[in-house]
Amino acid sequence: MRTKAVLFDLDGTLLDTSEGIFHTANYTVAMLGHEPCGDLAQLRKFVGPPLKDCFRIVYGFQDEKLLDDCVRVYRKEYEKLGMHLCHIYPGLEETIDSLHSLGLKVGVCTLKYERLARMIFDEKGLSAKLDTVRGTDEEGKITKAESILRATKDLGLEPADVLMVGDTVNDQMGAQEAGVDFLAVSWGFGFAKGDEVAYGRLIDSPDQILSYVKEA
C-alpha cells in the first residue's frame, strides 16, 4: 500500500454536525439583530468555508466588524451547546479501526477552531483513535492546505503518503494544494452521488475508503 495515513475532514465527513452548526449560526445572527435563515439548502453552505466566509455566503454579511462579532458570538454559543449536537456517521468508527489494523495513521484536518475540535473528539470518545488533529486558529487564518501539511508533518510523512477525505470543494482544493490524494464523500454537505470531481475520486460509503487504500 502506498498510502500511510488517512486524514478526515470533520464537519460532514467524519461527524454529522449539522444540527449544532445550523442552530448556532441562526442563534448568532438573531442575537446580533438580523434575520435567521430558514432555508436548509442555504444553511448547508455554512459548512466547509472559513467561519467568516460562511456568514458572508449564507447571510450576505460584508461588514468586517459585524463578521468579527459573528465569530465571537458563534464560538461562545457553539462551545456552550452546538458542539454537543453531533454524531459520527455510521461505519466510520469501524473504518478508523480497520485503517489502524492495516498499519495506517489516522488524523483530522478541519477549518473548525482546533481547540473545539479536540473537545468534541474527547466528548465522543474518539481522541484515542486519532494520531493528529489539526484545525484553524482563533483568527481563522490557517487554510485547509496548511492544516493538511501540519498534520502530515505531525505524522512524520510526506504529502505523497497521505490521503485526504472530505465532503466539500474546500477540502478538495486544500488536498490538491497540499499535494495529497483526495476522496470526496457524498454523505456530507457538499458533494452528492453522481457528481463529477475535478481532483480525486468520489465515494458513497466508508468501506470504499478501505478499498481505495488497499488498491493504491
9, 11, 167, 171: the catalytic one is 9
C-alpha cell at 61: 454579511
C-alpha cell at 160: 505523497
Beta strand pairing status for 15-16 and 87-88?
Answer: antiparallel
SS3 call for 185: strand
CA distance 139 to 158: 27
205 CB neighbour count, 10 Å cutoff: 15
**How far is CA 114 from each of CA 1, 132, 176, 212, rounded to the nearest angstrom?**
30, 11, 22, 28
66 CB neighbour count, 10 Å cutoff: 17
Q: Is 9 one of the annotated active-site residues of the chain?
A: yes
Label residues 7-45 b or e (16+ Cβ within 10 Å = b).
bbbbbbbbbbbbebbbbbbbbbbeebebeebeeeeebbb
Cβ-contact 200, 172 below 8 angstroms: yes
Active site residues: 9
